[in-house]
Amino acid sequence: MTGDLQFDAQGRLRHFLTIEGLSRQTILEILDTAESFMTVGQRAIKKVPLLRGKTVVNLFFESSTRTRTTFEIAAKRLSADVINITPGISSTTKGETLLDTVQSLTAMHTDLFVVRHSLSGAAHLIAGHVPPHVHIINAGDGAHAHPTQAMLDVFTIRRYKKSFENLRVAIVGDILNSRVARSLIHALSILGVPEVRVIAPQTLMPTAIEKLGVHPYNDMHGGLEGADVVMMLRLQRERMRGALIPSEQEYFNLYGLTPDKLKAAKKDAIVMHPGPMNRGLEIDSTVADGPQSVILAQITNGIAVRMAIMALIMGGRKESAARKRRA
């Protein structure tokens, strides 16, 4: 699955499907644009007119709280109209195919689809079949990618750590089934973060993960040592076939982030989690609610980052102007 489909003939970003294939400049441009949107949420009237008259469709075939809601808020803060399609009560339950559902919705002159699906490649499939004026954002496809989550994660890291140079980032937990980990690893690598570690029991570690340029660890102490950023992941039990962990208690004992284990990281390390959290399984409440946790900031930041991505792919002008300036 390549990211080529993301760009139009002029090389402008048209869809947002995967982090792979994005340039460092594009990623930084999104982060800078998001920074400029951060104050919109604090205004008395939380709106800018950028997407006025546009219709955004949230098409979520998998459950979601944070991602779906922050996309809806982001679109509304850009003055777009937003429709939420809930597959449980739509025609997909009557056997309609994914592409027929999308085709029916594009016949209503909609402009942007935010798609979450349990099948890897679902957003790419849709992007390959929509008319040229329609945009697609991948809000998570199977275990493959979750590119807007990666963008809000690197945005949060930059806000707390100021730059990506000299950083040691540790990603902990169910690496095998995590689309969040995969997209984040790509983003950190494009941004030039010098050291990315992944920590997991061998059963949750993808084979040949080193090929992505990360350092694998099976133990928390070694992996967390000197880390600036600790990203915890949820155990994706819905994607596990068979028992990949001995017992929840043993998993928590070995890999659950407790204040004691966190001591191995730097004193000023930040703790992140994309949510939803399993307290007492991958993270202890004392850490989740503690002074090093930026978990709620990630959610707030997600709105500005999603606003920036929507504005960039639908505005077009910004990116081409930036390209001209660089040329």
Minimum gap (Å) between residue 72 Cβ and ligand NCD:
14
Considering the complex, what minimum distance in angstroms separates the CB of residue 211 from ligand NCD?
22
**Phi, psi dihedrals of residue 323, rounded to the nearest 5°:** -65, -40
**Residues 293, 244 contacting (CB under 8 angstroms):** no
Residue 71 to residue 307: CA distance in whole angstroms:
8
Distances from the Cα of 24 to the Cαs of 4, 19, 151, in angstroms? 16, 10, 12
Question: Minimal distance in Å, beta carbon 182 to ligand NCD?
Answer: 10
Query: Which contacts of 121-126 are long-range, i.e. CB under 8 A and separated by 24 or more positions?
Result: 121/1, 122/61, 122/98, 123/15, 123/17, 124/1, 124/5, 124/17, 124/18, 125/98, 125/99, 126/98, 126/99, 126/102
274: cis peptide before it, omega within 30°?
no
Tell me whether residue 48 or residue 73 sits nearer to ligand NCD (CB atom).
73
Instruction: Identify whether 67 is a catalytic site residue.
Output: yes
Which residue of this chain has its Cβ atom nearest to ligand NCD in the complex? Answer: 234
For residue 146, indicate whether it is catalytic. yes
- Whichever of 112 and 114 has its CB closer to ligand NCD, that residue is 114
Is 26 known to be catalytic? Answer: no
Going by C-alpha positions, the residue among 150, 201, 196, 147 that lies closest to residue 175 is: 201
Q: Which is nearer to ligand NCD, 67 or 110 (CB)?
A: 67
Q: Which of 67, 70, 148, 156 is catalytic?
A: 67
Q: How far is the CB of 146 from ligand NCD (least distance, A)?
A: 5
Q: Would residue 70 show up in a list of annotated catalytic residues for this protein?
A: no
Minimum CB distance to ligand NCD smaller for 282 or for 319: 282
Binding stretches for ligand NCD (CB under 6 A): 66-67, 140, 146, 149, 179-180, 234, 236, 274-275
Nearest to 188 by CA among 196, 176, 178: 196
Number of Cβ within 10 Å of residue 62's Cβ equals 18
54, 117, 146, 186: which is the annotated catalytic residue? 146
Give the C-alpha distances (Å, rounded to integers) separating 283 from 224, 230, 258: 14, 11, 7
Select which of 54, 77, 116, 144 is catalytic. 116
182/318 with CB nearer ligand NCD? 182
Nearest approach in angstroms of CB 145 to ligand NCD is 9
The position carrying tokens 């195919």 is 97
62 vs 319 by CB, closer to ligand NCD: 62
- How is the beta sheet containing 55-60 ordered, strand by strand? 81-85, 55-60, 112-117, 135-141
Does residue 129 have an active-site annotation? no
Least separation in angstroms between residue 248's CB and ligand NCD is: 16
The CA–CA distances, whole Å, from 234 to 93, 205, 253, 279 equal 29, 14, 15, 10
Query: Beta strands 195-199 and 168-172: pairing type?
Result: parallel
**Which residues does the annotation mark as catalytic?**
66-67, 94, 116, 146
